Amino acid sequence: MQDFVYQSAPMRVVFGTGTLRQLPDELSRLGITRVLVLATPRQKDLVAGIREMIGERFAGVFTGAVMHTPVEVTERAMEAMHDVRADCLVAIGGGSTTGLGKAIALRTDLPQIVLPTSYAGSEMTPVVGQTSGGIKTTQSSPKILPQIVIYDVDLTMTMPAGLSATSGINAIAHAVEALYARDRNPVISLMAQEGIGTLARALPIICAQPNDRAARTDALYGAWLCGICLGAVGMALHHKLCHTLGGSFNLPHAETHTVVLPHALAYNAPAAPEAMARIADALGVPDPALGLYDLARKLAAPAALREIGMPEAGIDQAANLAVKNPYWNPRPIERDAIRELIARAWRGEAPQTAPTIS
């Protein structure tokens, strides 16, 4: 067995059905008196329910969360936080609201409670990605980690099938890269394989029967495992590409991950045969890159970057940015090969795996 270091995230997780009702008790546990709720306009009904639930501890709401955590949005949210004298952030939603809460916590060290409504997994990580001037950069700090995460299956039941598919594959991407991360360890590898397999089995059921509570529960459990992987070990080429593409062309986050993942996996396959074997086993397929590509097609998810708004003229720009300050990766980052990867993803072609490196 390899030598390894494993550090568990110091947060409290409440998982189940109807667990949102425990929010008042969790606020009391932290000694909170003035809550700023972070959300998007679509979640006004949930915000109203939270306001009624926590009573006088509700200090205000900011509904301006958007993708990729633009710095200017964070600055507006900070003004709202100061105006209401908040001593806690409650973020309800997917990666956009969670990211906004983390960006505020990075600047203020305010405690956070996250109520996920998607499978994004950001709530499990000490990392925040922020966009300024069309460039997305990441930052890591223990201050970014939420103190409490409440997973309530009920909050995911109305997630549309299409969003469930892309959000779920986004979660799978966290676990895929954890299996070949430089600082991988046996504990996280077990969680990664379980998370991939659980989501791959649950997502087709959800897309066919969105109200299937058992599948929704499995998917949220799998997403939690994949989120732990994202927060525990480093990421590689796939996440670098998605940060580059999302920040540069304002592409939708989960859809970008869905399109790019099979291609990034095919690129790294020759240099990570053990990880590929575990992913293939979790998916129940011989070729993991093709297996993920086929899974996305089965879920009617986007197949091409051009489908989600990337211009063809941006392929070279993306390739240049991807090789600039690259993340660690098991296979060396080669500009021409990365350009071809992005071009295939732009066209929506099947991934192309190179021969195994001897």
CATH number at residue 76: 3.40.50.1970
Task: Please give the pLDDT value at position 44.
Answer: 85
30-39: per-residue pLDDT in tens?
999 999 999 9
Cα separation, 267 vs 201, in Å, equals 25
Domain-ending residue, one of 156, 172, 192: 156
Cα separation, 157 vs 332, in Å, equals 41
**Any domain includes 120:** yes
Answer whether residue 279 shows pLDDT above 70.
yes
Task: Please give the pLDDT value at position 358.
Answer: 43
Rounded average pLDDT over 326-352: 96
Token readout for 209 is 């029967």
Lowest mean pLDDT among 92-106, 135-149, 185-199, 274-288: 135-149
Contacts of 72 (CB under 8 A, 6+ apart): none
Rounded average pLDDT over 335-356: 91
Cα separation, 95 vs 93, in Å, equals 7
DSSP 17-55: SSGGGGHHHHHHHHT---EEEE--GGGHHHHHHHHHHHG
Whether residues 287 and 341 fall in one domain: yes
Q: Give the chain's domain count.
A: 2
Task: Please give the pLDDT value at position 1.
Answer: 61
Q: Which residue has the higher pLDDT, 180 or 139?
A: 180
Token readout for 321 is 């940015």
Task: Please give the pLDDT value at position 170.
Answer: 96
Binned at pLDDT 50, 70 and 90, residue 141 comes out as confident
Mean pLDDT of the chain: 94
Whether residues 105 and 187 fall in one domain: no
Answer whether residue 356 shows pLDDT above 60.
no
Answer whether residue 281 shows pLDDT above 80.
yes
- Count of C-beta atoms within a 10 Å radius of residue 334: 12
- The boundaries of the domain holding residue 295 are 161-347
